[in-house]
Structure 1
Amino acid sequence: MEVIDIIILSNGQSKELRNLTENSIQTLLDSEPGDKIRFNILVIESAKTLPYHYPFCRTLFPNQEFGYNKFMNLGLRMTNSSFVCLCNNDLEFHPGWATAILEEFSKNPEIKSASPFCRFNHPPRGFTPNQGVHLGYGVRDEVAGWCLFFKREILQITGPLEERLKFWYSDNDFAKTLEKHHILHGLVTNSFVDHLESQTLKTKNDREKLRLTGDERYFFEYKWGERNYFSYLNHKRKQFFKKLQTP
């Protein structure tokens, strides 16, 4: 039996969002026969509400400020299976999705990271289901940041996820890191997991969305040499004074 660690980040601040996470868990459990694949599910819940324990898994309530990669790293430290999958909570898993990825890993051991095919996202971007594996590092193309399935051994090369990225650009940084270390990543087009497109983010107001997404681009571009240090510092200075002026 193959054991796969599934780490899901959730923000169940409402019944609707908790139902979204529960639907992800249920479709995951229904997707593979339990005598062949066992999912070790860890949900990391960031909502500051009364503790809500999700069924058929462990639920963790970190007592610290949210950071997407920080919480994923916490989940990685609390699990130890050879295969791990980092997931959003707005996913629907289809039968055989994990088996299809494991089979590709077995066929080509050089592929150490993969994403499944999303029927909503990938066809408009030019990808067709059941057309083998597309190798590459394109974000939202080969690298579907909402579902990243990889061999845990790659962390010995890449180190932990970049915690200075709090939310946005986490998948971009993951892709750049794989490419830097020549770790092959593929979109497995006969593995199906549908992404319901940032349902948690849609509940936030415009100011909160900007806070979550705006600053990340400047750091990402600085880290990967697309923006110089002084430009990055100037942005941080502007943000600092903007916060001082906010009532």
Structure 2
Amino acid sequence: MTYDLIIVSQSNGDLIQVTQNCIDSARKDKADLNIIVVETGNPYRYDVDKIIQYNGEFNYNRALNMGLKYAKSDFQILANNDIIFHPGWSKIGPLMKVNGYMSSSALSNDRRQAFCKPGNLGYEGYVIGIHLTGWCIFTSKELWPLIGKLDEKFRFWYSDNLYARQLERQGIKHALICSVRVDHIGSQTLSKQARGVQNLYTFSQGRAVREFKSIK
């Protein structure tokens, strides 16, 4: 399985290391990775396959759409820069394939997922922060001809709601996969912004479970 890792980054100050930590943690699994960084801050030369300089008014899904233009792999990972991938994350592709999912999220450290049990379980649904985690979404390449590009109606917060709506409209299931873990450090880039900018990108804008088929 091959993966495109698309990271939305802002390389200012210590946020450079935040993005680098994300990249390093993903590479530890030795997966076949095509890493694309969409840079919304100062130009910085990460050792990755592609860097795209984002200019103009920030829009999270627009940044991801820019990265998706260079996707070429079996699966796409749409990620914030403040993500840490745990060892074994790359088995999510085979798990998605064998269980028939084109969209999924991984179990994380977010308290909203506290009821979710680790292991070969998939919690199907579209609840934001539980089933669908906007900080890191895994998709298969077969998804995009069905839903088109990501909806860019909102700038940042609720971008994941837009994506969930795109899935629901096409009857495409999404699942939280609990045998894979990706931790979210939590709004590292947003917290560095002025309060007015934070408000501009944030406030201004079911738990079905099934047994999973395992993979060897």
TM-score by length of structure 1 reads 0.79
Residue 184 of structure 1: SS of its match in structure 2?
coil
Given candidates 47, 57, 61, the residue that maps to 1:55 is 47
Q: How does 1:1-247 map to 2 (within 5 A)?
A: 2-14=1-13, 16-30=14-28, 32-33=29-30, 37-47=31-41, 49=42, 51-99=43-91, 101-109=92-100, 111-124=101-114, 126-216=115-205
Larger radius of gyration: 1
The amino acid of 1:45's aligned partner reads E
Partner Cα distance (1:105, 1:212) in 2: 31
Structure 2: give runs of 5+ residues left out of the alignment: 206-216
Residue 183 of structure 1: SS of its match in structure 2?
coil
Q: Is the 1:121–1:195 contact (alpha carbons within 8 Å) kept by the matching residues of 2? A: no
The amino acid of 2:58's aligned partner reads F
The amino acid of 2:56's aligned partner reads Q
Q: Is the 1:113–1:185 contact (alpha carbons within 8 Å) kept by the matching residues of 2? A: yes
Residue number in structure 2 paired with 1:238: none
| CA RMSD in angstroms, aligned pairs only | 1.5
Q: Is the 1:134–1:187 contact (alpha carbons within 8 Å) kept by the matching residues of 2? A: yes
Q: Is the 2:102–2:140 contact (alpha carbons within 8 Å) kept by the matching residues of 1? A: yes
Residue 25 of structure 1: SS of its match in structure 2?
helix
Q: Output one character per residue of 1:38-71: Cα deviation in whole Å (capped at 9) or x when no partner.
A: 1100011101x3x211124422212333211111
Residue 153 of structure 2: SS of its match in structure 1?
coil
The amino acid of 1:41's aligned partner reads I
Residue number in structure 1 paired with 2:213: none
- Equivalenced residues, count: 205
Structure 1: give runs of 5+ residues left out of the alignment: 217-247
Higher relative contact order (CA 8 A, sep 6+): 2
**Structure showing the higher helix proportion among its residues:** 1
Residue number in structure 2 paired with 1:236: none
The amino acid of 2:23's aligned partner reads I
The amino acid of 1:3's aligned partner reads T
TM-score by length of structure 2 reads 0.89
Identity among equivalent pairs (%): 34
